[in-house]
Amino acid sequence: MKPQHIEQFFATLQAANPHPQTELEYASVFELLAAVLLSAQATDVSVNKATRKLFVVANTPQKMLDLGLEGLEQHIKTIGLFRSKARHLLQTCEILVTRHGGVVPRTREALEALPGVGRKTANVVLNVAFGEPTMAVDTHLFRLGNRTGMAPGKTPLEVEQKLLKRIPAPYLVDAHHWLILHGRYICQARKPLCWQCAVADVCAYKMKTAAP
């Protein structure tokens, strides 16, 4: 994808949705971290359904620890991989309480040192909570990076690095939201809805499939 096409791509998405937001529900940085940790290989809808009740009784690291493993598992048992996620979340809460005064750290190194928190999760927290221009490459961003020709790569890290390099600076902070939403609702995995796509004119996939 040419630089002018990338500019047009994000200008179009920005015009349609000037202030994109994550679809995970949260009211604090800790709730965001917990929700993102729980969202691995799960839908935002399923996570929100569980956390609406969970965060009423445990919206801080200490309150989460007070629930205990069994109590936490009961709240999140509808989410995939809930047992390992409950264990990681409690381990993370323990570290937050003992090493960070119950506050979510705002450096990549400290975030990635938390159990169950990888690069993608750290990128989401850094972007959504702290406004940093990070790129959390999930299945949607990986697919769009390759399919559109914007940032082709064989690994999430390769796609992430290319996106950060190629997306114009004014769009970087919100770019990962636009790409996730576009991948979730328009540029879907099995059958992209190209006829509904506002950026089809600059997409390498659409250009290729339209060629005679």
Q: Does the pLDDT of residue 206 top 80, yes or no? A: no
Per-residue model confidence (pLDDT) at position 207:
65
- CB contact at 8 A, 175 and 10: yes
Length of the chain: 212
Per-residue model confidence (pLDDT) at position 20:
95
Confidence band for 211, pLDDT divided at 50, 70 and 90: very low
Give per-residue pLDDT as tens, 131-175.
999 999 999 999 999 999 999 999 999 999 999 999 999 999 999
Q: pTM of the full predicted structure?
A: 0.90
Please, what are the domains in the chain? 3-20+137-210 (1.10.1670.10), 29-128 (1.10.340.30)
- Taking the C-alpha atoms of residue 100 and residue 80, their distance in angstroms, rounded to an integer, is 29
Active site residues: 120, 138
DSSP3 helix / strand / coil % (the chain, rounded to 5): 65, 0, 35
**Residue ranges of the alpha helices (H) in 101-203?**
108-112, 119-128, 139-147, 156-166, 172-185
Per-residue model confidence (pLDDT) at position 40:
87
Per-residue model confidence (pLDDT) at position 205:
84
| Cβ neighbours for 207, distance < 8 A, ≥ 6 positions apart | none
101 vs 52, 61, 88, CA distance in Å? 25, 10, 18
Per-residue model confidence (pLDDT) at position 210:
55
Give per-residue pLDDT as tens, 14-73.
999 999 999 999 999 999 999 999 998 899 999 999 999 999 999 999 999 999 999 999
